[in-house]
Structure 1
Amino acid sequence: MPATPAWPPKSAPRLFVGERLAAGASVAIDGPQAHYLGRVMRVAEGDAVVLCDNQTGEWAARVSSAGKRDVVLSVESLLRPREDVPNFTLCAALLKKDRFDLVLEKACELGARRIQPVITRRCVADKLNLDRARAILIEAAEQCARTALPELAEPVRLDALIKHWETDRALFFADENGGEPAAPAFAANVPAAALLTGPEGGFDETERAAIRALPQARAIMLGPRILRGETAAIAGTALWMGTMGDWTA
């Protein structure tokens, strides 16, 4: 006899929803998500959809009805509980829109728990559309099969970030003027950590001195080359995840 196909199939669409999920619940999808399911994925009654609620985890659901404007799903079973995300915050200076979009997307894929946009003196941008940024994070989480969305904070100025820094969290900052090699510095510290990366023009000397004066701060080097802001944020996050995060599990 042929093997019974896996259900839900790996090709099933994946969506984050706002309500808390449970077996037997009925979920009505409308707006852009309904357009995606109905017009792009062309789901029909009985098809599988994977749902995440950022609270309980990942659920298998089945299409109950698919109309022109909405899709109704019946939640069937829990596939995975919400993941335990490593205690890592990326504090990334704002960059030009397309470059910061890339930082958001990749930080989500790499496993960051929290993303804190930072405004520094040399930032080209000083504003962030939070709704658009959250949409980028949700799309990235759906694509990479995360069950927990990264927390996205409102942009904060660097001096305020330093003033209110948590006493029990290490702050590694990528300093183009030099510092400790990043990997051994990461490995020698407590699991609660943050990485601070600069804007297109880097930190100025006053900012650099203020960061170094913070007791929890440690200057690090991300290799022998000067990296662009988006590259430093992505590379540093990946290196921390490989050293102290969940990549070794």
Structure 2
Amino acid sequence: MQLFYTPEIQPGHRTFILNEEESKHAVRVLRMVERQRLHLVDGRGGLYTAEITDAHPKRAVLTILDMHPDHGKRPYYLHMAVAPTKHIDRMEWFLEKATEIGVDEITPLICAHSERKEVKTDRLKKVMVAAMKQSLKAALPTLNEPKTFDAFMAVPFPGKRFIAHCAEGDKKYMGELLRPQEAALVLIGPEGDFDAAEITSATTVGFLPITLGNARLRTETAALAACLETALVNR
């Protein structure tokens, strides 16, 4: 199945014109022609089947044949708040894999020990779009603008909240605390971990401390492990 990302499409559309980038990919790269079928995703869960009626390399015209509104919908909601890695390619790797496995919302979290304080989300969103198309998904995770740890503590969340850290203390695995279909928010710290004040601040407002195992994991590995554990709880 070949997917094209078309966030502008709406369920009521009977015809649609691909933008120049996607038209070029369909007609010039894939050499698609009139009457050939392809699939569109809107990033909101909608999967459309369409047929090419004009294989123009800059504005290919399509006829919409059918639409499925909740393609691949998962039974749970996962929000990952992750400290950006010093080397941005590691953050890109996490976003790619998390999009493939399943995540709904991601917030870059600026912490006391963060070595990277700024994030350009435009490039990261392109990585996520490519991962969504590659993994045949129709929903694109929301990538928020970065927030400081203190500001994020004031963000409401209607579900279980967790903080994964390496400090001593009583911690459990997410699988022991999270029920299937329950919404989850997970905080993952920077390379130097959360500082003591951040851990105290989070647990004071209701975040549950969790462990991801005995090994000390890189930030992006820890974040992906949390995504996997959430998926396993809901399989």
- TM-score w.r.t. the length of structure 2 is 0.89
Q: Work out the number of aligned pairs and report it.
A: 231
Residue in 2 that maps onto 1:4 = none
Question: Residue 24 and residue 222 in structure 1: after superposition, are their counterparts in 2 closer, same or farther (change >3 A)?
Answer: closer
Contact 1:92 1:116 in 2 (8 A): yes
Q: 2:162 aligns with which of 143, 164, 172?
A: 172
Distance 2:160 2:205 in 1: 10
Distance 1:105 1:57 in 2: 20
Residue in 2 that maps onto 1:221 = 211
Residue in 1 that maps onto 2:23 = 34
Residue in 2 that maps onto 1:6 = none
1:4-19 aligned at under 5 Å gives the runs 10=1, 13-19=2-8
Q: CA deviation at 1:66?
A: 1.7
Q: CA deviation at 1:83?
A: 4.5
1:1-249 aligned at under 5 Å gives the runs 10=1, 13-22=2-11, 25-55=14-44, 57-79=46-68, 81-85=70-74, 86-95=76-85, 96-166=87-157, 168-178=158-168, 179-187=171-179, 191-215=182-206, 217-243=207-233, 245=234, 248=235
Q: CA deviation at 1:31?
A: 2.8
Secondary structure, counterpart of 2:178 in structure 1: helix
Contact 1:174 1:196 in 2 (8 A): yes
Q: CA deviation at 1:55?
A: 4.2
Secondary structure, counterpart of 2:117 in structure 1: coil
Ranges in structure 2 where 5+ consecutive residues have no aligned partner: none
Ranges in structure 1 where 5+ consecutive residues have no aligned partner: 1-9
Distance 1:237 1:129 in 2: 23
Distance 2:183 2:44 in 1: 22
- TM-score w.r.t. the length of structure 1 is 0.85
Secondary structure, counterpart of 1:70 in structure 2: coil
Question: Residue 55 and residue 210 in structure 1: after superposition, are their counterparts in 2 closer, same or farther (change >3 A)?
Answer: closer
Contact 2:45 2:139 in 1 (8 A): no
RMSD (Å) for aligned C-alpha atoms? 2.1
Distance 1:48 1:36 in 2: 14
Q: CA deviation at 1:169?
A: 2.5
